[in-house]
Copies of this chain bind each other. A is one copy, B any other.
Amino acid sequence: MRTERRTPLNRARVLDAGIALADTEGVDALTMRRLGGTLGVEAMALYNHVANKEDLFDGMLDRVAEEITLPDVDLPWRDYARARAVSAHTTLMRHRWAAAMWTARISLGPARMRYMDGALRSLREAGFPAGLLDLTYHAIENHIVGHALQAQGFPLEAAEMTAMGEGFLRTFPTDRYPDLAAHIRHHLDHPTGDDFEFGLDLILDGLERMRAVT
């Protein structure tokens, strides 16, 4: 049985395979050799399509950014900000490894530039003055990334989550840290965790109030 010669690699296929590997096995499992393996190719072949591992991550990140739905530019700023934040949040939940790189990397691809520029434009057109605008943008963005990073510590499956928590609480010094114990128990009872939109609306409400004043 002869294995068919695969269609030649290209950058997009390398990036997508990288995302798939990081999604399923974790970002630590993403090595050039393993990534090559999933594509039926030696590790060195990847260097024809990405400059190095940094460039690979930057490319993966921008491809993730493409998955974020940018709202209609004519929406009121609050609806625009809310819709884009929710979409960014959903996307980062699908690709949890991306959270730690999301704002920490300076290198921006076109999709991330569109994302940022659109958000900033919406705020400016809503009348946020220069200084407040940048603070506003970061307040929202920090919440998105902070939440995604927090979610990273938890397993994806609810059952797995419960098992982890039970084992955790068994050895936990509940009497010394009663409030923390209650907090952990709360996480076990509410594994879905819709607290993203709670914090988001808190921020958006505050921003609307500030905008009205200035």
Instruction: Point out residues on A near B: beta carbons under 8 Å.
Output: 99-100, 102-106, 113-114, 116-117, 120-121, 124, 130-131, 133-135, 137-139, 141-147, 149-150, 152-154, 164, 168, 173, 176-180, 182-183, 186-187, 190, 195, 198-199, 202-203, 205-207, 210
Contacts of A144 in B (CB 8 A): 146
The residue on B at minimum CB distance from A119 is B179
| Secondary structure of the A contact surface, majority rule | helix
Q: Is the CB of A195 within 8 A of B139?
A: yes
The residue on B at minimum CB distance from A187 is B134
Contacts of A113 in B (CB 8 A): 173, 176-177, 180
Q: Is the CB of B153 within 8 A of A146?
A: no
Neighbour of A141 across the interface among B103, B116, B146, B186, CB < 8 A: B146
The residue on B at minimum CB distance from A139 is B199
The residue on B at minimum CB distance from A193 is B138
Cα(A195)–Cα(B132), bound, Å: 9
Q: Is the CB of B195 within 8 A of A120?
A: no
Cα(A145)–Cα(B149), bound, Å: 8
Q: Is the CB of B150 within 8 A of A103?
A: yes
Cα(A103)–Cα(B133), bound, Å: 28
Cα(A179)–Cα(B80), bound, Å: 16
What are the 9 A-B residue pairs with the smallest beta carbon separation, nearest first? A142-B146, A146-B146, A139-B199, A120-B179, A202-B206, A117-B177, A117-B180, A104-B152, A103-B150
Q: Is the CB of B183 within 8 A of A137?
A: yes
Cα(A140)–Cα(B186), bound, Å: 17
Neighbour of A206 across the interface among B106, B133, B152, B205, CB < 8 A: B205
